[in-house]
Amino acid sequence: MATKSAPGLAGFQHRTALDKRAKPFDLYAIDPGATPFSSGDKVADKAMVESLAKDLDGLQDLLWADRRFKVLVILQGTDTSGKDGTIRGVFGQMSALGVRTIGWKAPTLHERAHDYLWRIHQQVPGDGEIVIFNRSQYEDVLVPVVNGQITKEQKLQRYAQINDFERMLTGNGTLVLKFLLLISKDEQRKRLQARLDDPTKMWKFEGGDIETRKHWKAYQSAYRDAVAATGTPWAPWTIVPADSKTHRNLMIATAMKEALVGLKLRYPPADPAMKGVKLK
Amino acid sequence: MATKSAPGLAGFQHRTALDKRAKPFDLYAIDPGATPFSSGDKVADKAMVESLAKDLDGLQDLLWADRRFKVLVILQGTDTSGKDGTIRGVFGQMSALGVRTIGWKAPTLHERAHDYLWRIHQQVPGDGEIVIFNRSQYEDVLVPVVNGQITKEQKLQRYAQINDFERMLTGNGTLVLKFLLLISKDEQRKRLQARLDDPTKMWKFEGGDIETRKHWKAYQSAYRDAVAATGTPWAPWTIVPADSKTHRNLMIATAMKEALVGLKLRYPPADPAMKGVKLK
C-alpha cells in the first residue's frame, strides 16, 4: 500500500524552463487517464489518501508552529478537473488556523486598474501559513491568450513576470507548489453532463463552461505553452493525471507530504529561561 | 527664468545598472550643495516652482482623466533631506482625487510575516493615479544593510528582486520615478538643530535621528550601492542636490513635468454616439 517515492513524482514535474538543453516540455505526452501512483486497489488507494491527509494535518500544525516557511499551493486545470475536490480530499483535514483557500474569479474593475499580480500578491501566505489558490495568476496567461486579448509579446512578458514574482516569493521563504490537474475532453464531458443531470450538482454548472469547452484545443495549447515557460527550478509544475479522482488526490497528497517533510520542520526551541519552570 | 531642459536632468540620472560597460555610478561625486537648476535668483526660482506646481496640477487632472498610465513617485533620502517639504512644495497643489501619499514606517509584525515587497505592492498606483512614496522598498536595502541584519548575498538578491518588481510595474503601465534627495552632513546638523530649537518643529525630531546620524558614512555607502544597483533603464534614479530647498523643489518639479508631458496624455475620446447630443 506504499505510495511511490520521489522518482515517481519527478517524472511528472516540469522545472526545466531555464535549461536550454532540456527537451521542450510537451503536456500532450501525458495521459490524463494514467494512474502511476495507484496501487491498483481502489479501496486501498482511498485509505491511503485518508492516511496522507491526516499526515498533512500534522505537518501543517508543525509548519504553523515553526513559522520559518510559507507554503503557496496553486491548483490549475480546466473546468471540472477537480480543483474543489482536491481541496476537500487532500487539504480537508487541516486546521483553519494557518490555512486559507482563495478561489480566484474574473478581476473586478478595481483589480483591473492594477497590474494582474497586484491582487495575487496580497493573498500570498505569511510565515507558517498554507494558502491554496483555486486558479491563480496563470489564468492571466490562459484566458486572454485564448481570447486574443494580449499579443504574443505580452504573453511572453507575463511568463517572465510570473517567473520573477515566484522567484521573489521563494527567495523570501515561500515554497511554491504548482499542480496542473489534467483531464481528457471525454472525462470533462461526463462531468459536465453529471452536473446537468444532478440537482445537487447543477449549481456548479455555469453557462460559460460550455463556451469554454468549445475552445478546448486552444486552452490545451495555452496550458502547454504556459507550463513549458513557467516550470522553473524554484517553482516547478507537477502534472497530475486526474481522470481518476482517487489517483489525483493520491498523487497530490503524496507530493504535498514529500514537500512538507522536505522542509525539515521542527517545533521552535523552548526559551532557555523557561526550562524546568514549575508553575504553582 | 526658463528651467534647464532634458540634458540638464540626464546628468543627474542613473540608469546604467544593466550596462556592464558603463562607468560605475558614484554618488559621492555629486555635490549636495550644487544648484544646477537654479536661475541664480531665489525669488525667480520660487516663482518657477509655484508655476511648475500649477502645471503639475493640470497634468495630474489629465492623467486621471486619461487612465492609461499609473505613476509611482519614490522619495528617498536621509532624515531631514526634505521628503515632506517636497510633497508640500511640488505635489501640494494636486487634487486629492487621484493622488495618494504613503509614508512608510518600520514594518508591523503582520507585514514582517510576508516578503518585504508585499506591503509595497498593495499600495502601488492604479490606472490614472499618482502615488508618492515617502520612503519605500529601498529602506529594505538600507537599514538592514547598515545594521548588518542581512548578508551581502541577501542584499544583492534584494536589489535583483526590486529591479524585477519595478520592471513588472513598468511593463504593466506604471511610470516609476525615483528621487534621491542628497544633503550634506553639515546641512543635516543644521536642520536637526533647528528642530531641537524650535517648538513648532520639535515634534519632527526623533531620538532615533541622532542614532542614525552616527552611522552617516554607512548610510551613504548603502545608498551609493543601492542606487548603483537599481538605477535601471525602466526605473532610473534621479539624484537631487537638496541642500537648497528651493533647488530641490525646482529640480523635482521640472523632472515631474518632463515625465508627465512625455506620456502625451489626452482626454479620452468622446463616445461617437454622444457627439452633438443636445440635452433638453
Contacts of B150 in chain A (CB under 8 A): none
Q: Using a CB–CB cutoff of 8 Å, tell me whether A126 touches chain B.
A: yes
pLDDT at residue A74 greater than cutoff 80: yes
* Cα–Cα distance measured from residue B179 to residue A215, given in angstroms and rounded to the nearest whole number: 48
pLDDT at residue A62 greater than cutoff 90: yes
pLDDT at residue A7 greater than cutoff 50: no
Q: Where are the alpha helices (DSSP H) in chain A?
A: 6-10, 42-66, 83-91, 109-112, 118-122, 143-146, 152-171, 185-197, 207-214, 216-230, 245-262
* Cα–Cα distance measured from residue B21 to residue A188, given in angstroms and rounded to the nearest whole number: 56
Contacts of B169 in chain A (CB under 8 A): 115
Q: What angle do CA B63, B68, B74 make, to 5 degrees?
A: 65
Contacts of A118 in chain B (CB under 8 A): 121-122, 124
Contacts of A100 in chain B (CB under 8 A): none
Question: Chain A: residue nearest B64 by CA?
Answer: A113
- Reduce the DSSP state of residue A252 to 3 states and report it: helix
Among residues 53-72 of chain B, which lie with CB inside 8 Å of chain A?
70
> What band does A19 get if pLDDT is binned at 50, 70 and 90?
low
* Cα–Cα distance measured from residue A115 to residue B165, given in angstroms and rounded to the nearest whole number: 11
**A-B interface: how many C-beta pairs under 8 angstroms?**
69
More confidently predicted of A166 and A8? A166
Asked if the Cβ–Cβ distance from A161 to B173 is below 8 Å, we say: no
pLDDT of amino acid B262: 96
pLDDT < 70 stretches in chain B: 1-7, 15-22, 24
Strand partners, A101: A132
Question: Chain B: residue nearest A127 by CA?
Answer: B113
Section A135-159 average pLDDT: 97
pLDDT of amino acid A6: 41
pLDDT of amino acid A130: 98
* Cα–Cα distance measured from residue B217 to residue B173, given in angstroms and rounded to the nearest whole number: 37
Chain B: nearest CA to A125, how far in angstroms? 7
DSSP string, A68-88: S-EEEEEEEESTTSSHHHHHH
pLDDT of amino acid B16: 62
Section A118-130 average pLDDT: 98
Section A267-273 average pLDDT: 88
* Cα–Cα distance measured from residue B60 to residue B183, given in angstroms and rounded to the nearest whole number: 28
Which amino acid, one-letter code, is at A57? D
Name B167's Cβ contacts closer than 8 Å, sequence gap at least 6: A161, A164, B232, B234, B235
How many beta carbons lie within 10 A of that of residue A158, not counting itself? 26
Q: What angle do CA B114, B119, B123 make, to 5 degrees?
A: 160
Section A53-82 average pLDDT: 97
Contacts of B113 in chain A (CB under 8 A): 126-129
Strand partners, A17: none
Chain A: nearest CA to B37, how far in angstroms? 35
Q: Using a CB–CB cutoff of 8 Å, tell me whether A114 touches chain B.
A: yes
B71 in Cβ contact with B260 (< 8 Å): yes
* End-to-end Cα separation, chain B, in angstroms: 49
* Cα–Cα distance measured from residue A228 to residue A25, given in angstroms and rounded to the nearest whole number: 5
* Cα–Cα distance measured from residue B203 to residue B191, given in angstroms and rounded to the nearest whole number: 13
Cell for B168? 513588472
Chain B: nearest CA to A188, how far in angstroms? 35
Across chain A, mean pLDDT equals 92
pLDDT at residue A219 greater than cutoff 70: yes
pLDDT in tens, B149-167: 999 999 999 999 999 999 9
- Any idea which residue has 543635516 for its cell? B188
pLDDT of amino acid A5: 44
Name A140's Cβ contacts closer than 8 Å, sequence gap at least 6: A116, A158
Cell for B95? 487634487
Element (H or E) spanning B250, and its range?
helix B245-262
Chain A: nearest CA to B60, how far in angstroms? 17
In our burial notation (b when 16+ CB lie closer than 10 A, e otherwise), range B161-170 reads bbbbbbbbbb
pLDDT of amino acid B19: 58
Q: Using a CB–CB cutoff of 8 Å, tell me whether B265 touches chain A.
A: no
- Any idea which residue has 486559507 for its cell? A100
pLDDT in tens, B39-74: 999 999 999 999 999 999 999 999 999 999 999 999
* Cα–Cα distance measured from residue B89 to residue B81, given in angstroms and rounded to the nearest whole number: 14
Which amino acid, one-letter code, is at B235? A
pLDDT of amino acid B273: 87
Q: What angle do CA A231, A237, A243 make, to 5 degrees?
A: 140
ipTM value for the complex: 0.87
Contacts of B127 in chain A (CB under 8 A): 113-114
Q: Using a CB–CB cutoff of 8 Å, tell me whether A151 touches chain B.
A: no
